[in-house]
């Protein structure tokens, strides 16, 4: 069974809690945080996370698309994030990456790392993969919802699955961007475990059925 992670980027923010409750049959709630610098858009901050924490029984999967993830880690952790995922491209060295993973773990929550479509999966070496709890493969350019799925994400997912199986790593393989009924099957076949979907879930006529579709085997 797969993990469905509805992205609140596509929710109606005028009734956010109602929207979140409506997709609460999913295990994860994907929370896209954008700073207007690392990506062009600006979305939400820790106060929004705090306002909905405890109102639904979901794992809060916070994806920090921001230039200085370490600066905001504590505030998101204390606001209710269960997973904090930062971007490989936001940091300058492997030492910074490993330090941030440890820092996130110091709050007793899970650490994830994400790579953009033009970043090779090979930048994630054994030291990184052995420490992270989640690897997020972007199948669109981060920053906007509703983009078309990029198939160059599939070999990355396959490689991460091969490495996980070979070395018994513990990370969850997650994908984000351009998910619909057809692309969900493609990423499942490639070896993904958690599927982020914004437009596909929130614009669906039957959100619960769409979540079930994402969760079931292909």
| Catalytic (active-site) positions | 32, 176
Distance CA 77, CA 103 (A): 11
State how far the alpha carbon of 214 is from the alpha carbons of 28, 52, 64, 185, in Å: 12, 24, 23, 9
Pairing assessment for the beta strands 134-138 and 194-197 based on DSSP bridges: unpaired
Q: Which residues are CB-neighbours of 95 under 8 A, at least 6 positions away?
A: none
Count of helices and strands (H, E) across the chain: 9, 8
Cα distance between the two ends of the chain: 10
DSSP 8-state symbol, 155: H
Residue 190 CA to residue 16 CA, distance in Å, equals 33
Count the Cβ atoms, other than its own, within 10 Å of residue 143. 19
- Helix 181-190, helix 153-167: angle, nearest 10: 40
């Amino acid at each position: 069974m797969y993990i469905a992670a509805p992205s609140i980027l596509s929710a109606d923010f005028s009734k956010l809690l109602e929207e979140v409750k409506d997709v609460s049959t999913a295990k994860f709630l994907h929370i896209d945080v954008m700073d207007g610098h690392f990506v062009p858009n600006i979305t939400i901050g820790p106060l929004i996370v705090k306002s909905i924490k405890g109102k639904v029984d979901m794992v809060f999967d916070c994806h920090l698309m921001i230039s200085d993830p370490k600066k905001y880690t504590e505030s998101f952790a204390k606001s209710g994030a269960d997973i904090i995922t930062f971007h490989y491209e936001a940091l300058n060295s492997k030492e910074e990456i490993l330090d941030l993973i440890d820092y996130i773990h110091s709050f007793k929550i899970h650490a994830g790392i994400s790579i953009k479509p033009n970043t090779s999966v090979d930048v994630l070496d054994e030291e990184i993969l052995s420490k992270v709890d989640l690897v997020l493969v972007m199948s669109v350019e981060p920053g906007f919802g509703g983009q078309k799925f990029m198939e160059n994400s599939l070999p990355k997912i396959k490689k991460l699955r091969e490495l996980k199986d070979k070395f018994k790593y513990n990370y969850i393989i997650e994908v984000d961007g351009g998910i619909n009924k057809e692309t969900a099957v493609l990423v499942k076949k490639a070896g993904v475990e958690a599927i982020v979907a914004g437009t596909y879930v929130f614009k669906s006529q039957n959100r619960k059925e769409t979540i079930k579709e994402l969760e079931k085997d292909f």
